[in-house]
Chains A and B, each alone.
Chain A
Amino acid sequence: MNVASLLVLAVLLGAVIVLGLVLRPRRASTLEFYLAGRRVGVMTNACAICGDYFSAASFLGVAAAVYASGLDGVWYATGFAAGFVPVLLFVAAPLRRFGEFSIPDFLGRRLGSDRVRLVAVVVVQLVILSYLVPQAVGSGITWELLVGDGIAGLTPYATGVVVSTVAITALVIVGGMRGTTWTQAVQFLLLLSAFIWLVIVVIASGFDYPRSVAELTTDPLANPAEVDGQWRLEAESNRLEEGELAYFGHPGGRYGPLGQITLIITLMLGTAGLPHVMNRYFTSPTGTAARMTTVWVLGLAGLFYALAVLLGTAARSLIPGAAPDQPWLAELTVDGVLRVPEHAPLVLGRLYGGEAGLAVVAVGALVAVLSTIAGLLLASAASWGHDVYERHINPNATQRQAVWAGRAAVVVVAVLSAALALGLRPYSLTALFPSIVATMVTWAFALAGSALAPVFILAIWWRGTTARGAVAGMTVGAVTAVGMVAAATVIGDRSIGELLLTPTVIAAPLAAAVTVVVSRRTHPPAELDRLWAKLHGTAADRRAVRLARLTVTGINGPDGGKDSEKKR
């Protein structure tokens, strides 16, 4: 057991809980609990969105995908970052200006239909669950490597799942959106710091990024595989050229001719439908602030993923040379190559920073998991508590009752995701998918991008969108995406299976087409001009800015206030 790791972890979890307690909402209000009073600034929100978005799939999974597949693994990072461009162009500002609590709430109000809201709740919950489970799996894997021991008779993996779930559930229940926002922002800065530190020590040790890519590309790419009960390195075949082998720096290690494009489209559209990320835009004070928040997110995401790709390359290049001198690597590697690619950043941390280095990276991985779980639980709570309980079960609920309904939803969803993660065995799945955490998150993106994003974007940009059209579109998108991914688990991830695993390229256009066709046969909601002014007008933004200016001038004194008003 690593005492330094445990100490760092205990301090971190304690700090997170204290931060949540200090920043907890002072009033029992749904606006405070779900949206932090809509007062989150641009940089704070950008960091919080990054903390929300950069899950185990980003912190461990991207480096793992690069480690296992070389250039083709980089496309995970590209897709994750690219997702915020459509969000910036089509979603961020109008979504905030419309100003609701959640994606289902937005769709329900924009289209004037409770049925739309309920269908969206079902899809949102499916997305959240399929995103939550890999986070819990990531926390189990990290605990296994970080601590290595279980608590109360649990395995190390199970202990990681349970401890992370309990800690973050407590934070969300106590801190609500305000506490979660600040902890997510701080957690993102910790993640980024961990990556920056690791990159600095790796480069200081003599790692030459371009030269390493060239050297890794001289020999065929090979990864550990269990054959007849024995682990050995198996060369990866090139999926672009039949009969050829794959190389680290060349395409073909993971995707066939269509694979890269279908993955990018799946991740790109999926981001615009992720409930925990979209909900954060409702916390911005104005639509313009939401737009500028996304610009900063893109900058921070680019930096973060560029570092993750570098670290995946560094791990592939450096670990084989270190393995003979590091006995602890023997059980993790086969001929110097890691059995579980997600271990790559963690092993680098231990190689270059000893036990403390492992603790820094492992705690970073846990932080990534915790901050994403927090966002997902809050999104789930908003969906159950606001969209179902307040709207349908108890429309006359007091604010206190509504907040407690959200808290109860947090507990139920957390327990469910932890139970599913405990039922999974990541080692058996790793043989099927090289980076299981990133792969499972891709399934969540596929569902969000296929069912929610097309309807969401049409509702914002096409006046003709109707409630029936939206319901039909979401249903077709969800059924198509789930059906294709389910078929892929039978067919495998080669040829047509590649397309089935990233179904958005087919499911999203289908969902959009169905939405348009059905909408054309039905009538859009009344008061469309008023809804349009709310979505695309800036009056509310200007009011908020004026109020903020008046508040500042009020603080500065009545004279200053008059002066500044005259200048306007």
Chain B
Amino acid sequence: MASSGGHSPWADPDEGGQWVSDLGDEYDMPTDVDAAFRTLRRVAVGHFMVFLGVVVAVPVLTLTVDWWSEGRLIGGMTPSFVMAAVGLYVFFFLLAIAASTLSNAVEDRMLGDPEPPDGGPTTHAEQRGDSP
């Protein structure tokens, strides 16, 4: 019976599992991964700053703008109540769609070419001509 815990600290738990390794022509070059990582980090941090700005703005507006807490937007609801009860959820969802669409596009563009058969450029960075 197979042992469950004896593999090395760096072993891949998927190895020998359902994702068979005979489809081994998929690989990522370290330079491509690093470039994609940096782009994805910019995407994530950028969207996070927008998210944080909007979320923090709601209580800050409460403390600084009277209309935000006293005005009437929908029926008897204040802008503050509308934003907290519904508006922020819509914003989160739209932000999530935007961030995931952009992240998926970045990964598709920067990673994922099959191994070049003729010894041509092997990384996306080299193909773009901006590799060191």
User: CB within 8 Å of B: which residues of A?
Assistant: 30-31, 37-39, 71, 74-75, 78, 81-82, 84-86, 88-90, 93, 99-101, 108-109, 112, 114, 208-215, 217, 240, 249-251, 257, 260-261, 264, 268, 288, 291-292, 294-295, 298-299, 301-303, 305-306, 309-310, 386, 389-391, 394-402, 461, 527, 529-530, 532-534, 536-540, 542-544, 546-547, 550
| Contact across chains for A71 and B81 when beta carbons are under 8 A apart | yes
Contact of B37 among A212, A298, A536 (CB under 8 A): A536
Q: Contact between A291 and B26 (Cβ–Cβ < 8 Å)?
A: no
Pair B107/A402 contact, Cβ less than 8 Å:
no
Known: A291-B100, A544-B19. Contact between A249 and B81, CB under 8 A? yes
A537 touches B111 (CB 8 A): yes
* Min distance, Cβ A512 to any Cβ of chain B, angstroms: 14
A217 in contact with B55 (CB, 8 Å): no
Partner of A213, one of B32, B37, B81, B96: B81
A475–B16 Cα distance when bound, in Å, is 36
- Beta-carbon contact of B89 and A305 below 8 Å: yes
Q: Find chain B residues with CB under 8 A from A292 CB.
A: 100
User: What's the least CB distance linking A307 to chain B, in Å?
Assistant: 10
Most buried by A among B36, B47, B89: B89
Residues of B within 8 A of A540 (CB): 14, 19, 26
Residues B75 and A39 in contact, CB atoms below 8 Å apart: no
Q: Bound state CA distance, A149 and B76, in angstroms?
A: 42
Q: Would B28 and A31 count as touching, CB distance under 8 A?
A: no
Partner of B77, one of A84, A214, A532: A214
Measured in the bound complex, the distance between the Cα atoms of B89 and A303 in whole Å is 8
CB distance from A467 to the nearest CB of B (A): 11
Tell me the minimal C-beta distance from B69 to chain A in angstroms.
6
Min CB gap A87→B, angstroms: 10
Tell me if B88 is interfacial: C-beta within 8 Å of chain A.
Answer: yes
> Known pairs A260-B59, A537-B111. 9 more at Cβ < 8 A?
A88-B100, A101-B13, A211-B76, A213-B75, A260-B58, A399-B1, A529-B30, A534-B12, A542-B26
Q: Determine whether B4 belongs to the interface, using a CB cutoff of 8 Å to chain A.
A: yes
The docked-state distance in angstroms from the alpha carbon of A219 to that of B86 is: 24
Set B17, B19, B96, B112: member contacting A538, Cβ < 8 A: B112
Contacts of A213 in B (CB 8 A): 75-78, 81
Contact B19 A396 (CB under 8 A): no
A89 engages B33 (CB within 8 Å): no
Mask for B64-85, Cβ within 8 A of A = 1, else 0?
Answer: 0000011010111110110011
Q: Taking the complex as formed, is B125 at the interface, i.e. its CB lies under 8 A from any CB of chain A?
A: no
The residues of B that contact A542 with a CB separation of less than 8 Å are 26, 112
| B5 with A394: CB separation less than 8 A | yes
Decide: A298 and B76 in contact? CB cutoff 8 A. Answer: no
> Which single member of A88, A288, A533 contacts B28 (CB below 8 Å)?
A533
Binary per-residue interface labels of chain B (1-21) against chain A in the complex, 1 for a CB within 8 Å, 0 otherwise: 111111001101110011110
- For the complex, what is the distance from the CA of A542 to the CA of B81, rounded to whole Å? 45
User: Which residues in B have their C-beta under 8 angstroms from that of A249?
Assistant: 76-78, 81
Closest to A89 in B: B44
B104, A291: Cβ atoms under 8 Å? yes
Q: Roughly how many angstroms separate A215 CA and B95 CA in the complex, as a whole number?
A: 33
A532-B30 in contact given A82-B92, A288-B104, A399-B2 (Cβ < 8 Å): yes
